Structure 1
Amino acid sequence: MRTELSIVAAPGRLPRIEAAGGLAGRHTGPDTVHLIGTAATPLGGDELDIRIVVRPGARLTVRSVAATIALPSTLTPLSTAHWDVEVGEGGVLDFDPEPTIVAGGAVHHTVTTVRLAGDARLRLRERVQLGRSGEDEGGWRGDLVADLGAVPLLRHRLELGAGSCTDDRLRAPRALDSELRYPDDRPAWTGGIDAVRLPLAAGGTLATRTGARLSVEMPTATEPAVPVG
């Protein structure tokens, strides 16, 4: 199945939503959209293409009503999702959906491309868990490419699962909590060997936490986060 979803926010009106396939959006506030699954997706072989645009001066909050579960099919374990995010001058995007659960035997790849204007504001969070209860298989790979105008902001790839470059017999992380913020001038911070927040050269920060299971909240340092609004 191929799924296409477009959410475009502009000042003075509800976000415009266009959807086809297994994912849709619903207005749950003047500037809030919740993602809703309308079919079992992603299955192996499925492709998701999601576009989120915040026009200059607009605000958009994106959430989801439930976790996304990636499942294998009889033909292939691999499913893919492409997220295309654009935030214009003075725009604000707060993106924090429920986690993606990669079921045993499934492999899910995501590519997220972000384009920000110089005075845009962004909080983009991604959470991934390999395996449902009693499962320890599955694989995930995520690419995050972000630009600030014509300036590269971030080029980042992380893999989870057996055979990935981050896997080993001693620790074998199976969960990821990642958050990109712009702007954010907090300094670098580490919370043990599993959690880190790094400032980016062009501004903003990337925080990541890996482990066996997702925690309720992203661990942060003692200083407060820069509010998205």
Structure 2
Amino acid sequence: MRSDVLLVARPGRGPHIECAGALAARRTEPDVVHLLSAAATPLGGDVISVRIIVEAGARLRVRSAAASVVLPGAASLLSHSSWDLEVAGELDLDPQPTVVAGGARHHTSTRLRVAEAATARVRESVQIGRIGEDQGFWSSALHADIGGSPLLRHRVELGRGSVADDVLGTPKACVSELRYPATGFDSAGTVLELAGGGSLSTWQGQRLGG
């Protein structure tokens, strides 16, 4: 199944929302939108596309109503999600964790284009497997530009077959957070200041919240 979400934040107006497929979105506060599942997704074979536009002078916070549980489909283990973020105002994107269960494989890509005067916070967290599961795989690629110039190219893999897969101790959970223009913030992970402005925090371990 293919699911598409479009969110557009404009100054002085409520967010514009368009949805199709298994994902829905609801405005829960004047500048807050929650994503929620209208059907089970992502399953193997599913493709999810989320586009977010925040115009200059507008503010948008995006959350999710629950964690996303990725499951294998009847014909495929692999699912995809993509996030296209265009920010001239203020965006805070912090969905609930993604749990890759049952041996599923999930690929995420995020493309962020942020204006020099804008503010962005993009947080992603993932857990490989429910209790007793460890055979899933997840990868994430983040491509961020500031004012048309490269800001960050970042890729992470977790789980069975990842570059960090090792029988002696493979990380099964990850939290990544990009902030612009903040050059530092409190985090459980390692915070790196970026040459073009902003900062990136990355944490890996066995269990989220553990």
**Same fold? TM cut 0.5:** yes
Q: Is 1:215 matched with 2:184? A: no
TM-score normalised according to structure 2 size: 0.97
How much has 1:190 moved relative to structure 2? 9.3
Alignment of 1:1-229 (within 5 A): 1-88=1-88, 91-186=89-184, 195-215=189-209
Dislocated runs of 4+, deviation >2 Å: none
TM-score normalised according to structure 1 size: 0.89
* SS, match of residue 127 in structure 1: strand
How much has 1:2 moved relative to structure 2? 0.3
CA deviation digits over 1:99-147, x for unaligned, max 9? 0010021000000000000011011100000101221110000000000
How much has 1:170 moved relative to structure 2? 1.9
Runs (5+) with no aligned partner, structure 2: none
How much has 1:200 moved relative to structure 2? 0.7
Q: Do 1:102 and 1:138's aligned partners in 2 also have CA atoms closer than 8 Å?
A: yes
- 2:152 and 2:102 map into 1 onto residues whose CA distance is 30
Q: Do 2:139 and 2:156's aligned partners in 1 also have CA atoms closer than 8 Å?
A: yes
- 1:42 and 1:14 map into 2 onto residues whose CA distance is 28
Q: How many residues align?
A: 210
AA paired with 1:114? L
Q: Given the superposition, is the C-alpha separation of residues 12 and 65 from structure 1 closer, same or farther in structure 2, using an over 3 Å criterion?
A: same
Q: Given the superposition, is the C-alpha separation of residues 29 and 74 from structure 1 closer, same or farther in structure 2, using an over 3 Å criterion?
A: same
Q: Do 1:104 and 1:130's aligned partners in 2 also have CA atoms closer than 8 Å?
A: no
How much has 1:87 moved relative to structure 2? 0.4
> Over aligned residues, Cα RMSD in angstroms?
1.5
Q: Which residue number in structure 2 is paired with residue 221 of structure 1? A: none
- 2:105 and 2:12 map into 1 onto residues whose CA distance is 41
- 2:57 and 2:5 map into 1 onto residues whose CA distance is 22
Identity of aligned residues (%): 55
How much has 1:185 moved relative to structure 2? 2.1
- 1:38 and 1:129 map into 2 onto residues whose CA distance is 22
Q: Do 2:134 and 2:160's aligned partners in 1 also have CA atoms closer than 8 Å?
A: no
How much has 1:20 moved relative to structure 2? 0.2
